[in-house]
Amino acid sequence: MSQPLFFAHANGFPSATYGKLFAALAPDYRVLHLPQHGHDPRFPVDDNWGNLVDELLHHLEALGEPVWGVGHSLGGLLHYHAALRRPEFYRGVTMLDSPVLTFADRLMIRAAKRFGFIDRITPAGRTLGRRETFADPEEARAYFAGKTLFRSFDPDCLDAYVRHALAPKDGALRLTFDPETEIRIYRSVPHLSPGRPRQLKVPLAVVRGRHSRVVMPHHLRTVKQIPHGEYLTVPGGHMFPLERPEDTAALLREVIGRWRGRAATEASA
């Protein structure tokens, strides 16, 4: 019987963009997700992402059974904070190029917010003024394919982004992920945490893309504090789940399979 796996996407990338990854996890895992985090008016983006975590917990509670939490970037940190608050909702958490922030990281973020340079240490500054409309899918695909962030995307993932991140509006195609919401998410990146790493009660793996500039070697220190924490490195950069979706699915199967085996052994001991 398949087990539920709840996926949370990166900022600005609707969940449907990851369709090839989801397909590679079937039929063993029943992948659940929200179309877009941060767009439910009941849970507006606030500082430290408290409402975004509430939004995630709201949907997890409705499932009535614990999940394997998997998140990319923004999504990984949401799952980590949610698991600190409500560990009973989880079997384990995998963070795909999403850091468990150190105390020094959080001090820097707090200072950046207070003194107005948060746009320089997050992608918010690069998001300002981003092109939002396109004449047709072909124009959009050519535009995104020329951007560094998308250059190494699996072709199917790039097609999925063009198909699902744009929708017709006023005679053109417009981004469905509200740019203002995307910027607010970057600007409100957490400098507070609902708990300490050593307090996490479920297994957690941080998977870093080898060329990432988001998860850095110093983040290993916080992962080491987690009772059942793992730190893994894979080929690619920050967007490796969309660059290598099938390899990412294989890694998730390996990590979760190892956790399931350990849980079965402990239960029979």
Residue 111 in 3-state DSSP? helix
DSSP 8-class letter at 164: H
pLDDT value of residue 266: 84
Q: What string of pLDDT tens digits covers the 269 residues of the chain?
A: 689 999 999 999 999 999 999 999 999 999 999 999 999 999 999 999 999 999 999 999 999 999 999 999 999 999 999 999 999 999 999 999 999 999 999 999 999 999 999 999 999 887 877 889 999 999 999 999 999 999 999 999 999 999 999 999 989 999 999 999 999 999 999 999 999 999 999 999 999 999 999 999 999 999 999 999 999 999 999 999 999 999 999 999 999 999 999 888 888 77
| DSSP per-residue string spanning 193-256 | -SS-GGG--S-EEEEEETT-SSS-GGGHHHHHTSTTEEEEEESS-TTHHHHSHHHHHHHHHHHH
* Architecture per CATH, 3-268: 3-Layer(aba) Sandwich (3.40)
Distance of CA 241 to the CA centre of its chain: 10
Please give the pLDDT value at position 1. 66
Contact 9, 76 (CB under 8 A): no
Return the domain boundaries, the chain.
3-268
CA distances from 98 to 27, 28, 33, 130 (A): 26, 25, 18, 23
Structure token digits, residue 158 = 């790039």
pLDDT of 268 reads: 78
Closest CA relative to residue 245, chosen from 157, 149, 151:
157
Name the phi and psi angles at 97, rounded to 5.
50, 50
pLDDT of residue 267: 82
Strands 172-175 and 166-169: antiparallel
In angstroms, rounded to a whole number, what is the distance separating the alpha carbons of residues 158 and 166? 12
